[in-house]
Amino acid sequence: MSTFRKRVLDGILWRSGVAASQQVTQVLFTILLARLLTTADFGLVGMAIVFTQFAQAFSQVGFGAAVIQDQEISDAQVSALLVFHVGVNAVASLACCLAAPLAAEFFHEPELTPIVAVLAWLLLVTSLGFPQVLLRKRMAFREYSSHEVGSSLVGNVVAVVMAFTGFGVWSLVARPIVQRLVFALSIWRVARWRPVRPQFAGIGRHLRYGLHLLGSNIFTFASQNTAPIVIGRFAGAETLGCFRIAFGLAVVPAQQVQAVLSTVLLPALSIFNGDRAAFRRKAYASMLGLGLVYVPAMLGLAAVATTFVPFAYGEAWSAAATFLVMLSGVGLVKGVEHLLRCVILSAGRSGAVMRITAVETLAALAFLAAGGSLWGANGLAAGCLAAAFVSGLLTLREAQAAVGGEPVFLRAIGRSLLAGGAMAAVVAAVAVVAPWTPGITLLAQVLVGIALYIFLRVRVLSAEERSIVSGWPVAGPVLARRQT
């Protein structure tokens, strides 16, 4: 195995492991917190997060991606971008903090003012972790992955301890602040990098690249947060709390996929930007790998939603199950879309991403207006799903253009969609016919789903897919034993 390929596979394994462990940790601790706190507590923090994400959308300039994409950038230019990055986020944090009373007035929740004022500083704290960009560029994933997992664990433990000792909603406020602060403080030592005298000359192209991504972030915020904003304002904190639980289960995994891909795949594909054939092969293999695992996971989540939510969170959270069915579709499309966007960005087409998200925002507003007027909060979730499909199709078209116009991505993911869809139908039927308790039913659904998907997916594995999978760790030896 070549050194480069080994680095990419190691990176994917490390970052996937981090993403999976963080998601599992977050879900388990959130289940515990849901038993200690109320739906209104989660709703209040959900409102505050929407407001702070609004500020983040206007400050999240894509300097990190610009640094990774440029193979010739100097330390002095990186230092200049660091100055811009921290400065922009410091201003955004201050503005968000001062605007906290506006958030409380908008949502008709006076308790929101101090919560927003504190969470506003997440933007600045997060920006201090900028050296992770350099580790991503070097593809040195092992060096900081453990720190990321550790910081997540610390944040969750602090939140649970605070909830046990009566801090209520403030335990949810402390969780992300502690997590990101611990990571930001540790990453500088891991990166072994110190800023030098900034050189602002020659960073114009990096600013343009980053501003394109800033525009994309603004449009993405509008398309993904209109539903929770409307729910929070008109349906109240309890309904928004259920929506945020479903969002965390279904859409946050897509964000974890984005983190893995932007960390590993963006620097890897950028190296092959000048070789169209190699670029296309790497993109196809990446989509195949994502489809084999992520697609059935999200389809399975939708299939077990009505069993899982009441069992894990309690009957008070049952409304989240309906949200979860539809948001699982959003998470599925977004996870695939993140990989496609990574391909587009690796080809240097950041402007295309901004245009796609602009169209997605307009589509989201239209679908959300129609869905909300017809079916209320559930209609808003359905509108999110419809807008995600529009954005996914546009992103697919642009990614195909980036690899030369060939439909490699549909070829890479088609069989996984078919096998996963059949599996999800059977798993959903198990909940209807099973006479068992919710816990036993959920266990049966999971076991049947895993076994059925593996059986179906191996049966429809094409020769092209087999040639790629046979070179992967674990999957290759298993496939070889099956053939013999």
**483, part of any domain:** no
pLDDT tens for each residue of the chain, 484 residues long: 456 566 666 766 777 777 778 778 888 999 999 989 988 899 999 999 888 888 877 766 666 666 666 666 777 887 887 888 888 889 989 999 999 999 999 988 999 999 999 999 999 998 888 787 777 777 666 767 777 888 989 999 999 999 999 999 999 999 999 999 998 888 888 877 788 887 777 677 777 776 777 777 777 777 777 888 888 888 888 899 999 899 989 987 877 776 666 667 777 777 777 788 888 988 999 899 889 999 999 999 999 999 999 999 988 898 899 999 999 999 999 999 989 988 998 887 878 888 898 888 889 889 988 998 888 889 989 999 999 999 999 999 999 999 988 889 999 999 999 999 999 999 999 999 988 899 999 999 999 999 999 999 999 999 999 988 887 766 655 555 555 5
Q: What are phi and psi of 347, to 5 degrees?
A: -85, 0
Q: How far apart are CA 51 and CA 102, in angstroms?
A: 10
Q: How far apart are CA 476 and CA 5, in angstroms?
A: 15
Q: How many domains does the chain have?
A: 1
Please choose, from the candidates 428, 419, 418, the residue with its C-alpha nearest in 3D space to the C-alpha of residue 302: 428
Q: Are 41 and 168 in contact (CB under 8 A)?
A: yes
At 128 the three-state DSSP class reads coil
Residues contacting 360, CB < 8 A, separation 6+: 219, 220, 223, 387, 388, 390, 391, 394
Residues contacting 23, CB < 8 A, separation 6+: 252, 253, 256
Q: State the distance between the two ends of the chain, measured CA to CA, in whole angstroms.
A: 23
Tokens 């196809």 -> residue: 284
Element (H, E) at 3: helix 3-36
**152, part of any domain:** yes
**130, part of any domain:** yes
Q: How far apart are CA 183 and CA 190, in angstroms?
A: 10
Contacts of 95-104 with CB under 8 Å at 24 or more apart are 95/55, 96/51, 96/52, 96/54, 96/55, 96/120, 96/123, 97/121, 99/51, 99/55, 100/51, 103/47, 103/48, 103/51
What is the model's pLDDT at position 70?
62
Please choose, from the candidates 270, 258, 286, the residue with its C-alpha nearest in 3D space to the C-alpha of residue 137: 270
Q: Are 77 and 202 in contact (CB under 8 A)?
A: yes
Q: Are 384 and 364 in contact (CB under 8 A)?
A: yes
Neighbours of 263 (CB within 10 A): 28
**482, part of any domain:** no
**460, part of any domain:** yes
Question: Which range marks the domain in which residue 42 is found?
Answer: 3-476
**484, part of any domain:** no
What is the model's pLDDT at position 5?
62
**300, part of any domain:** yes
Burial of 461 (0-12, 13-18, 19+ CB in 10 A): middle
The token pair at 334 is 């977004």
**222, part of any domain:** yes
The token pair at 207 is 């600013």
At 37 the three-state DSSP class reads coil
**pTM for the structure as a whole:** 0.73
